[in-house]
Amino acid sequence: MRTTNRRNFLRAGAAASIAGAIAPALAMPSGAADDKASASGPAAQGVTRTLARYIVGARYEDLPANVRKEGTRTLLNWIGVAVGGSHHETVDRAVAALAPFSGPAQASLLGRRDRFDIMNAAFVNGVSSHIFDFDDTHLKTIIHPAGPVASAILALSEYHPVSGKDFLNALVLGIETECRIGNAVYPNHYDVGWHITGTAGVFGAAAAAGKLLGLSEQQMVWALGLAASQPVGLRESFGSMNKSFNPGRAASNGLFAALLASKNYTSSEGMIEAKRGWANTISTKQDYRQITEGLGQRYEAALNTYKPFACGIVIHPAIDAAIQLRNENRLTADQIARIDLKVHPLVLELTGKKTPQIGLEGKFSVYHSVAVAIIEGAAGEKQYSDRAVRDPQVIALRDRVSAIVDPSVKPEQVDMTITLKDGRTLHKHIEHAIGSVEVPMTDQQLEAKFTDLADAVLPAAQVRKLIETCWQVERLPNAAAIAKAGVLQK
């Protein structure tokens, strides 16, 4: 059973930040990279091969302790959201559509009894892990790193046995790959409409799967090249089932690329950086130093964060402010005359839906999110159900929420004023929302989130065992034990 205390971390009044790291990236104008990092400069030579060489040579023993720890936290969070989302109607429809065509029963679908071939299993688990919009976030790029990478290598590990240490190393390397490539083109690539989790995530899936397959340097170059040929995902899909398709497809596409490369299926030598390669074709910004500098020294994977709220990351400051004011003042909806927000432009660009009709649309409505947070004191998956967005009380309060763009408000901030019917005003300015790099979710909070999601799918004892299996990934002789622990027993 789900209990109130399992959501306490969602109701905390702690200040945190969604995106201290987003601000510098958003502020960078198109073409901000200098000549050395341009498409024609020396830094543009050999980018794909330099990255491939690093991936092939990187060892688990080389990972700093904090990076291994964050990789384990990433795995735990991903398993929790994938199990939690495994019976959403989106996943049911995907399974129904693909089941007649799936090949041998090679890999598990988390939270279910079904087994698919590894390609389709990677896709479905990627969809399942993203459908609640509750997964991890690399705040510098807004990439959701684990979905494409973990979905690919968990499926592969059931077909091609690997140790837990090798699995964790591949997971970190895949996340490192996709986030570094994302850094090189963000925000311009994202601004024109690409869903960067899909377009960059395919590289992470290819790198991680290729690492587990033992690709040579040349084969890894080809795997990255084949990944570059498969960008997937447009932001127009946000608010529909299609959004979760993107990380799912990135997972299966990356796995596809690695498997082809393992049999010497070739590609261009410079598919990331070439004049007509990936970065120059789909972005007006290319800073290749972000990909190659500091490999093995600084880790983007160590900057991963985990959502306490099941919606677009840019709404988190507003939700945090709403819950804090609600709890501090014991607010009820009938006391409120209006709620005024000052937000960064990205908030309305991404989450400006004023009248969401279904739960998936509610995840991209700052208006719904604030209203439901005030009324229910939470913003988990229940608050983004069809029931919640159609609740007359939520709709009535939603209509009293107003949001305006204020150039002085940073992406990780919000300024909220609630005017009460008795004339009083309440104010809250959020510098850093819960779940950020500055104030990360604790291990205990991650476990509570995991339990809250998985309890609806698996027996309580199995949920506990699954959590323990994730924490112990480095000691597993066979990483397939993670998948085995996360499925419905027959």
What is the helix (H) or strand (E) element at residue 485, kind and residue range?
helix 480-485
**Of the candidate ranges 197-206, 418-427, 436-445, the one whose mean pLDDT is the lowest:** 436-445
Dihedrals φ, ψ of 117, to 5°? -65, 160
Q: What is the mean pLDDT of residues 339-362?
A: 96
Fold of 312-430: 60s Ribosomal Protein L30; Chain: A; (3.30.1330)
Is residue 88 over pLDDT 50? yes
Query: Encoding tokens for residue 62?
Result: 């080389």
Question: For residue 29, what are the contacts with CB-CB under 8 A and spacing of at least 6?
Answer: none
| 280 HSE (CA, 13 A, CB side) | 15
DSSP conformational letter for 216: -
Q: What is the pLDDT of residue 327?
A: 98
Is 482:79 a contact under the CB 8 Å cutoff? Answer: yes
With cut-offs at 50, 70 and 90, classify the pLDDT of residue 439: confident
| Residue listed under structure tokens 């066979």 | 478
* Residue 406 to residue 410: CA distance in whole angstroms: 9
Q: List, for residues 151-162, the tens digit of each pLDDT value.
A: 999 999 999 999
**Domain 22-308+448-485 CATH class label:** mainly alpha
* Residue 287 to residue 183: CA distance in whole angstroms: 8
* Residue 365 to residue 32: CA distance in whole angstroms: 32
**Of the candidate ranges 24-38, 203-217, 248-262, 414-428, the one whose mean pLDDT is the lowest:** 24-38
**Of the candidate ranges 172-176, 224-228, 407-411, the one whose mean pLDDT is the lowest:** 407-411
Is residue 484 over pLDDT 90? yes
Is 340:419 a contact under the CB 8 Å cutoff? Answer: yes
* Residue 326 to residue 89: CA distance in whole angstroms: 32
* Residue 468 to residue 78: CA distance in whole angstroms: 14
Q: What is the mean pLDDT of residues 226-234?
A: 98
Dihedrals φ, ψ of 434, to 5°? -55, 140
Is residue 62 over pLDDT 90? yes
* Residue 17 to residue 3: CA distance in whole angstroms: 26
Q: What is the pLDDT of residue 14?
A: 33
Is 433:319 a contact under the CB 8 Å cutoff? Answer: yes
Q: List, for residues 365-384, the tens digit of each pLDDT value.
A: 999 999 999 999 999 999 99
Residue 331 Cα distances to 324, 338, 373, angstroms: 10, 13, 11
Query: Encoding tokens for residue 353?
Result: 């839906």
Q: Name residue 342's beta-bridge partners.
A: 404, 415
The H-assigned helical ranges of 339-442 are 345-351, 359-362, 366-376, 386-389, 392-398
* Residue 82 to residue 88: CA distance in whole angstroms: 10
Query: Encoding tokens for residue 27?
Result: 């502020």
Query: Encoding tokens for residue 263?
Result: 């049999």
What is the helix (H) or strand (E) element at residue 217, kind and residue range?
helix 217-228
Q: What is the pLDDT of residue 490?
A: 73
Q: Is the dihedral of CA 267, 270, 271, 274 positive or negative?
A: negative
Q: List, for residues 384-400, the tens digit of each pLDDT value.
A: 999 999 999 999 999 99
Amino acid of residue 87: H
Residues of the chain within CATH 1.10.4100.10 domain(s) are 22-308+448-485
Q: What is the mean pLDDT of residues 257-276?
A: 98
Residues of the chain within CATH 3.30.1330.120 domain(s) are 312-430
